Chain A
Amino acid sequence: MRSATVNAALRSWLPWTDRQGRFSQLRGATFALLLVPALMLLYAAWMHQLGSKPWTEAIHQTGTWAVRFLIATLAVSPFRRLFDWGKLIGIRRMLGLAVLAYVLGHLTLYCIDMAFNWGLIVSEIAKRFYLTIGFVALLGLVALGVTSTDGMIRRLGGKWQKLHNLVYPIAVLGLVHFALQSKIDVTQAVLMSGLFVLLMLYRGLYRWKLTISIPVLIGAALFAGLATAVIETTWYALTSGVSARLVFEANADILTYPEFASVRPAHWVALAGLVVALVHGLRARTSRPPRRARQPATA
C-alpha cells in the first residue's frame, strides 16, 4: 500500500502527468516539444554539423531557444483566457523551468567555450554590458525557478505573485541581451520583442477591462505590428549608421516581397496577432454556453 502511495506521488510529479497522476496529452506533448531543440542540438553535435565553432553555435542555439520558450511561457496566461482554455495553466511551470534549463545550459556552454578560464569569464561578464544584463536575467530566472515549487508557492503566499512578476523585466533584459550580442542584424531579437509586446497588449486588454472581441484583437495585432516596426527602426537609428527611413520603409512595404527575407518581424507579429484573433473567434463560436457563462467569473 505504502509503495503504491509513493508511486502515485511520484506520478503526479512526472512531466507528462497531471496533478492526479494521470497521463496528460497536453503536458506530455509540451514536455516532448521542449526537449526537441536540445536533442536536435545534441544530434547535430554528434554528427559534427555545428560548423567550425560548434560551442559558439551551441551557445547561440540554447540562448535563442531560451528566449523563444520565455515568450511561450508568457503566452500561457493570455491564451488561457483568449481561447477559453483553462488547462493551459498546467504547462506554465514546465515552460518556465525549460527556460531556466536552456539558460543554464547557455551559461555552461559559454564557460566551456571560454575554456573555464574563470578570471576571463568573470571579467567579461562584468565588463561587457550585454553579458552583464544576460547574467542578471539568469539570476532572476534562478530565483523564479527555485520558488516555483508548490511548497514555495504556499509559503510565499501573496508575495509569490509579486516575485514572479519579475519575469517581465527579466524578459526585457533577455531581449536586450539578444539584440546587443548581434553583430548588426537584429531580426530575430526584434521578432521576439514584437511578440512580447503583443502578449503584453493582451494583458493590458484584460487589466483595463476592455471587452475582448475580434475587432479589438485585430486592432491589437496591427498595433503590435506597428510597435515592432518602431522598435526595429529605433534600434537601428540608435545603434547603427543605418538610415532609419530605409528601415521603416522596409517595414511599411507590405505588398512586394522581392525575397522571403524581406518579410520583416513586424509583419510576422501582426500575422501572429491576426491568427490569435481568428482562433479566439473560432473558440467563441464552438464553446458550450455553460463554460462561457462560467468564464467571466474566473477571468
Chain B
Amino acid sequence: MLIKRPAGWEMPESQATPESVFLNRRQLMAAGAGLIAGAALPGLAAADTPDPTLDLYPAKRNEAYKLDVPLTAAEDAANYNNFYEFGMTKDIVDASRRLATRPWSIQVEGMVEKPFEIGFDDLVRKLPLEERLYRFRCVEAWAMAVPWTGVPLAAFVALAKPLSGAKYIRFETFMNPRVAPGQSQRWYPWPYTEGLTIAEATNELPLLVTGIYGKPLPTQHGAPIRLITPWKYGFKSVKSIRKISFVAERPKTFWEGLQSSEYGFWANVNPAVPHPRWSQASEQVLGSRDRRPTLIFNGYGEHVAGLYKGLENERLFM
C-alpha cells in the first residue's frame, strides 16, 4: 500500500514512507505517539488510486432532515474520533489511514432468503445515496452536527430480504490486528460488534453512511461504510462494517462485553438518565466552548419514541 501525502507542514516525510510503515511498525508507533493532531487533514484517504465512488458525491440532500443547531466544522469532526482499533486517544487519524478500504466487501448472512457477499462499490451504486444533516451525540457528553451521505438502512434491509424469524440485525467490523494495533489488546471482545432490532433498523432514521461533508468517508470516520443512528449514543454507530447478520437473538455488543452497566444494547440518548460516572444533562459542542441541554432521543423523539412502546422494562437509555 502506497501512502501519498502532500509534502509540507502536515507531516514529517519519514512518517509517510511505506517501507518504514511496513518494516518498523513498533518504532513508528512509539514515535507516532508523540505526533500531534495538527498533522491531520480531513479527506486525505490513504489510497493510491482515486476513490471509485467519487462521482457519486456530493449526493442530493434530503431536505426532510433539518438542523436547529449549527453545523460542526469539518476539521473538528475529522480530528476527534473514537476508533479503539487504532488507539485509545481521540487522535487516531494517522493510525487509521493504515486501513485499506479497497477492495472491500460486505458479507450478508444469517436469517435471509439467500446469504450473499457484495462489493462495497457495487452496493453504493445499487442503492440511492442521499445527504442528511444529523445531530450526533457521544456517550462522553460531546456533540456535533454533520452532513452524512449514505443509504437508508431500511433500503439495505429490503435488499437483504430477511426471513420472518429475524428479530435483530448485527453489524461487525473488520478484524486485522496487523493493521489495527488496538485489536492486539487481547482482552477486548474484537471485532467491534453492534446491533439493532429489526424495527429500529427499518425506521427511516438509521443510515448506512459512506460519506461526510460531501465526500467519501475518511478512514477515521469508519470508511468505507458505517452505521449512523442519530438518536442513540455514538458507540452504536459501528465503523468500517464487514459483516451484517440477521439473527433471532439479541447480539452481544462490543461495549456490553466490556462494561454492560455503562454501555448497554439500547443506548438511547436521554438527558435525565446519567451515565454512572457523569451527567448526560448537557452536552459540549465540538469545536466550541458552548454547552447545550441534551435532548431526549437526541431530538429525534417524534421519529423513534414509538419504537419503544412496551419495552419500558428494558434499560432503554443506558
Task: Write 21 A-B pairs (CB below 8 A) sorted by A numbering.
Answer: A51-B79, A51-B90, A52-B79, A52-B90, A53-B286, A112-B289, A120-B279, A120-B282, A127-B279, A128-B277, A183-B140, A184-B259, A240-B258, A240-B259, A241-B256, A241-B257, A241-B259, A249-B186, A250-B186, A258-B177, A259-B177
Q: Does B185 contact A (CB under 8 A)?
A: yes
Assess the A259–B25 pair: CB atoms within 8 A. yes
Assess the B184–A261 pair: CB atoms within 8 A. yes
| CB within 8 Å of A: which B258-284 residues | 258-260, 277-279, 282, 284
Give A47 to B277 CA distance when docked, in angstroms.
32
Assess the B284–A260 pair: CB atoms within 8 A. no
| CB within 8 Å of A: which B58-97 residues | 75-77, 79-80, 88, 90-91
Assess the B38–A241 pair: CB atoms within 8 A. no
Of A127, A243, A262, the residue contacting B184 (CB under 8 A) is: A262
Q: Whole-angstrom distance from the CB of B133 to the nearest CB of chain A? A: 18
Q: Size band of the A side of the interface?
A: 35 or more
Give A249 to B177 CA distance when docked, in angstroms.
18
Please name 15 further chain A to chain B contacts, defined as beta carbons within 8 Å, in addition to the given A242-B257, A257-B26, A258-B184, sorted by A numbering.
Answer: A44-B36, A51-B80, A56-B284, A127-B279, A180-B277, A240-B258, A241-B257, A241-B260, A242-B187, A259-B181, A259-B184, A260-B30, A260-B181, A261-B29, A261-B181
Residue on A nearest B75 in the bound complex, by CB: A52
Q: Does B303 contact A (CB under 8 A)?
A: no
Assess the A53–B284 pair: CB atoms within 8 A. yes
| CB within 8 Å of B: which A173-192 residues | 180-181, 183-185, 187
Give A2 to B88 CA distance when docked, in angstroms.
59
Assess the B278–A260 pair: CB atoms within 8 A. no
Q: Does A209 contact B (CB under 8 A)?
A: no
Residue on B nearest A242 in the bound complex, by CB: B187
The 5 A-B pairs at the shortest CB distance, nearest first, are namely A52-B80, A246-B187, A52-B76, A49-B38, A260-B26
Give A271 to B90 CA distance when docked, in angstroms.
29
| CB within 8 Å of A: which B113-172 residues | 140, 142
Give A50 to B188 CA distance when docked, in angstroms.
28
| CB within 8 Å of B: which A47-70 residues | 47-53, 55-56
Specify which chain B residues have a CB less than 8 angstroms from the CB of A48 in the assembled complex. Answer: 38
Most buried by A among B185, B187, B257, B259: B187
B interface residues (Cβ-Cβ under 8 A, vs A): 25-26, 29-30, 36-38, 75-77, 79-80, 88, 90-91, 140, 142, 177, 181-182, 184-188, 256-260, 277-279, 282, 284, 286-287, 289-291
Give A52 to B42 CA distance when docked, in angstroms.
13
Q: Whole-angstrom distance from the CB of A234 to the nearest CB of chain B? A: 14
Residue on A nearest B282 in the bound complex, by CB: A120
Specify which chain B residues have a CB less than 8 angstroms from the CB of A55 in the assembled complex. Answer: 289
Specify which chain A residues have a CB less than 8 angstroms from the CB of B75 in the assembled complex. Answer: 52
Q: Whole-angstrom distance from the CB of A117 to the nearest CB of chain B? A: 8
Residue on B nearest A55 in the bound complex, by CB: B289
Assess the A53–B256 pair: CB atoms within 8 A. no
Q: Does A18 contact B (CB under 8 A)?
A: no
| CB within 8 Å of B: which A19-72 residues | 44, 47-53, 55-56
Specify which chain A residues have a CB less than 8 angstroms from the CB of B77 in the assembled complex. Answer: 52
Q: Does A83 contact B (CB under 8 A)?
A: no
Q: A49-B38, A183-B140, A241-B260 are in contact. Are A261 and B185 (CB under 8 A)?
A: yes
Q: Whole-angstrom distance from the CB of A109 to the nearest CB of chain B? A: 12
Residue on B nearest A243 in the bound complex, by CB: B187
| CB within 8 Å of B: which A243-281 residues | 243, 246-247, 249-250, 257-262
Q: Does A236 contact B (CB under 8 A)?
A: yes
Specify which chain A residues have a CB less than 8 angstroms from the CB of B260 in the assembled complex. Answer: 241
Assess the B26–A259 pair: CB atoms within 8 A. yes
Q: A261-B184, A261-B185 are in contact. Are A51 and B26 (CB under 8 A)?
A: no
Assess the B185–A262 pair: CB atoms within 8 A. yes
Give A258 to B182 CA distance when docked, in angstroms.
11
Q: A52-B286, A115-B291, A260-B30 are in contact. Are A124 and B258 (CB under 8 A)?
A: no
Give A249 to B259 CA distance when docked, in angstroms.
20
Q: Whole-angstrom distance from the CB of B242 to the nearest CB of chain A? A: 21
Q: Whole-angstrom distance from the CB of A121 to the nearest CB of chain B? A: 11
Specify which chain A residues have a CB less than 8 angstroms from the CB of B188 in the assembled complex. Answer: 242
Specify which chain B residues have a CB less than 8 angstroms from the CB of A242 in the assembled complex. Answer: 187-188, 257-258
Interface string of A204-244 (1 = CB under 8 A from B): 00000000000000000000000000000000100111110
Specify which chain B residues have a CB less than 8 angstroms from the CB of A262 in the assembled complex. Answer: 184-185
Specify which chain B residues have a CB less than 8 angstroms from the CB of A241 in the assembled complex. Answer: 256-260
Q: A259-B181, A261-B182 are in contact. Are A52 and B259 (CB under 8 A)?
A: no
Specify which chain A residues have a CB less than 8 angstroms from the CB of B25 in the assembled complex. Answer: 259
Q: Whole-angstrom distance from the CB of A49 to the nearest CB of chain B? A: 4
Specify which chain B residues have a CB less than 8 angstroms from the CB of A240 in the assembled complex. Answer: 258-259
Assess the B76–A250 pair: CB atoms within 8 A. no
Most buried by A among B91, B186, B279, B282: B186
Specify which chain A residues have a CB less than 8 angstroms from the CB of B37 in the assembled complex. Answer: 49-51
Give A180 to B177 CA distance when docked, in angstroms.
28
Specify which chain B residues have a CB less than 8 angstroms from the CB of A243 in the assembled complex. Answer: 187
Give A256 to B185 CA distance when docked, in angstroms.
13
